[in-house]
Each structure stands twice: as C-alpha cells, then as structure tokens.
Structure 1
Amino acid sequence: MKALVLSGKKIIFVVSGFVLVVAALFAANSFWNGSIPTFSESNSETVRTINLVTGEFKAEKPNGEEIEAYRWDPGTIFAEEGESFKLSIYGVNGQEHPFMIEGTDKKGVVKQGSETVVDLKFDKEGVYRLICTTHADIENDGPMIAYIVVD
C-alpha cells in the first residue's frame, strides 16, 4: 500500500482551495441575506400595488415649432389572470389626465401632484389598454396609452 505523501505545494494548493470555497460561500451568504426581492409570489392576503406616473416628452423641430407627447410610465405592466392588484398613478406632467381602461368600467382622472388609485382584477387573459382620453392620438399629443398584459 502506498502512503499518501503531501508536498508543500500540494498542502498550499489544498488549503488555498479550501479558503477560496469558504470565502465564496461567505460572500454569497452576505449578498443574498441583504438582498431585496424584486419579484415575489403573491399571496391571497396581500394586494400588489403597481406604481405609474404621468410623463411628458418635449422637442423643438428645425422650424422652431415645439412638439410634445404624454405617456404613462411604465408603458407596459403585467398581471396574472384572477389577480387583484392596485394601480397607483401619480400625476407629474400635465394638469390632468382623464382615463379609461378598455374592457372594464374603470374610469378616473389623474391630476398633477396627486395620486389616483384604481383597484383591478382581470378574469380573462388579454391585453387591456389604459388610455388617457385627452391624449388619445398624435393630434392631441399622444397616444398616451399603457398596456396591461394579463396572463
């Protein structure tokens, strides 16, 4: 039977590997313990809130004419079929934005400097549009439309 012989180089290699593994585990543990989840499973006790704001783009054309467009930000949100959630919409740009959500009876107005909260639940998959009725097309500085994608 051969005896296990460890040279100085082998000992340094094994100890270095062990130290590296311990350091990696410590770093990973520190990273994940302090992390904040950006996605979580919904539970029936908590209603998820999705935050939106009103925004505006302005530009000047070569002839000096100013153009602008309003938008919801984010422009696309995702929800699960049957999930109850809230849209919390804060008015930043524009005096007010009357809105409707296609396929629902939900309507309201978002006013600058104020929050408007809308309770929603979609029982059918699809894409539903949140439309500002003041800025519904290009002629009226739009279209100011956000898409609610329900899977």
Structure 2
Amino acid sequence: MNLYKIIKIIAYALGIIGAIFVLMIMSSGSESMIDNILFVTYAVLALVLVLVLIYVLKGLFTGNIKKTLVTVGIFLAIVFVSYAMSSGADLDLKPFTDKGQDITEATSKKVGAGLYTFYVLAFLAIASMAFSGVKKIFK
C-alpha cells in the first residue's frame, strides 16, 4: 500500500470523526463538545504539517537543491528588506494602549513588514502569471 492510499484512508476517517462530532454538538446543544472538535482540528493540523515537512524534505533532496536554496534565499531577502523598510511609527499607538491592548512599536513594525512582504510577493505572483500568459500568446 503506497503512502497516497494511507493518507486518503486517514483523511476519510478524520472526516467521518469530524462529522460525528458536529452532529453530536448540534444534537446536544452543549458547548462542551467544542473541545473535542478542536482536538480533532489540532490533530489534523499536526498531521498535515508533518506530511508537508516530509514531502518538502523528500523533494528537496531528490530535486535541484541549489535552485531551492536560491529561492528560499530570495524569499528571506524580501522579508528582510520589508522589515527594514517598515518604520513601526506609522500608527498612533496611544488609542490602543489606552484600551489596554499590548501593541508596541515593535509589533507595529512586524505587522508593517508582513504587509510589505505580502505586497511584494503578490506583485511578483501577478507579474509572473502575466508574463507567462503573454509569453504563451506570442508562441
């Protein structure tokens, strides 16, 4: 039995268990069953993360490792430049701290860096799709 069939069987089993928990929650009206569904959610998340890690490492060592490392390096460079561009002082933090929220300039800088990273990666994704489409049209 190959790994795909095993994962497919596990996915069906977890789907059935999840459906049973949802029916139990809806029929009982009790919110104590929510803990059970969260447990299943955490188990599925852990399983997915482990399988993704396995497949990434498997693909990394069977493919072109130099190309993969260059891509990861470019991604980290984008994150670093985005963090350097973010000032952290773009937002007036006084209304947030008056309400008791723990938002500092460091938190604001990280959020800004995440937004800049998202914008750059979204632009690159759209540009690569457009370039691919234009290249396909001219062929």
Q: TM-score, normalised by structure 2?
A: 0.21
The structure that has the greater radius of gyration is 1
Higher helix share: 2
Higher strand share: 1
Q: TM-score, normalised by structure 1?
A: 0.20
Tell which has more relative contact order, 1 or 2 (C-alpha 8 A, sep 6+).
1
